[in-house]
Copies of this chain bind each other. A is one copy, B any other.
């Protein structure tokens, strides 16, 4: 059994290329070339490019949430702190050289229809992120955890867009300051 199965190999290269160049702009030929596998192998593991895209988005969701949550919890030791260190974790992400925005926002741009399978996965990812925040908010004992989660989530989305489109790499720090206001208010009530 290889350290990385062919399937995982393909997905990992697809991840990189789709993220950097977009989905429609990246051909399967390019992916197999980078991954060093034959076209037949790709189509042995995936019925179509669409299916590969779906698998890639699912993998990205898994990797991204694991990473961002790990960093958030490394930087903050209790749930209340983590509501804010989540923004520090995003700040770190924005500083990465390969940063190209949120892959799910990007995918939603190319697969705009709400009922597109890709778009559905994107919405699901955003829901899971918000669920994590709400969980921490509940543990922190704030008054309306779901409401606070929606607010902080909106701030994160805004910071991501500002960092990517406008190149404002400090957007997460401003968003964090703004978030602190709402965390404070949610704890006060």
Contacts and interface: CB of A to CB of B under 8 A. Distances in A.
Interface of A: 20-22, 24-25, 100-101, 104-110, 112, 114, 119, 122-123, 126-127, 150-151, 153-162, 164-167, 171, 174-175, 178, 181-182, 185
A158 B152 CA distance: 10
Contacts of A151: 174, 178
8 contacts: A22-B112, A101-B109, A105-B165, A112-B164, A122-B165, A126-B162, A150-B174, A178-B182
Q: Main secondary structure on chain A at its contact with chain B? A: helix
- Chain copies in the assembled complex: 2
B165 A112 contact: no
Contact of A105 (B24, B123, B161): B161
Contacts of A119: 165
Contacts of A154: 155, 158-159, 162, 171, 174-175, 178
Contacts of A153: 158, 162
A141 to B, nearest CB: 21
Q: Ordered nearest first, which 8 A-B pairs have the shortest CB separation?
A: A158-B158, A106-B109, A154-B158, A109-B109, A24-B24, A157-B158, A157-B161, A100-B112
